[in-house]
Amino acid sequence: MIPATQTLTAAQRERICEIREDHLRRAFGDEIARVSKMPLMERYRYVAWMIDNGRKHGVKHVREPRGVTE
């Protein structure tokens, strides 16, 4: 049985948020951590810019259709 959602104090929520941000920075770098705080459509705009920029520099779309999702 899945336990019910636990009610967190404001301090707990803030601390978990800090831990998460720290993980984001370690795992993805400062730039992605910064972008991840932007409003949603700005995040999408930034991600789109990354992709367009990659394509301009020859980065290929590599995911071939396999009939099944990994």
Partner 1 sequence: MNQFEIIEFYLDLVRRAQERGIQCAITSGMACVAFEVADATKDCDLLCDPDMDAAFLALLAESPLGDSRCQYRGNTSPPLDARWLKGGWTSHFEWPGTDGFLDVFGIAPRARSSWQAEMMAPYAHPHVVADMKRTAREKDWPFISDLGALLLGKGDQRGWLHLYEAGLIQQLASEQTIPSEMIRMRPLLRLAVEHSPKLQAAVSAEMIFWKNASEARLKYYERHLKPYLVAVRKAEAGQTLTLMLQHEIRIGCAEKHLPLRPLGAAEFAEMISEAREATLSLIHPSLEEWLPDIRENYRILIPGLT
> What residues contact residue 66 under an 8 Å CB cut-off, 6+ apart?
none
How many amino acids of this chain bind partner 1 (CB under 8 A)? 45
Phi first, then psi: what are they for 26, rounded to 5°? Answer: -65, -45
| Identified binder of partner 1 from the candidate list 30, 57, 58, 69, rule CB under 8 A | 69
> Does residue 51 contact residue 43 with C-beta atoms inside 8 Å?
no
Residue 36 beta carbon to partner 1: minimum distance, rounded to whole angstroms = 5
In the region spanning residues 5 to 34, those forming contacts with partner 1, defined by CB under 8 A, are 5-8, 12-13, 15-17, 19-20, 23-24, 27-28, 32
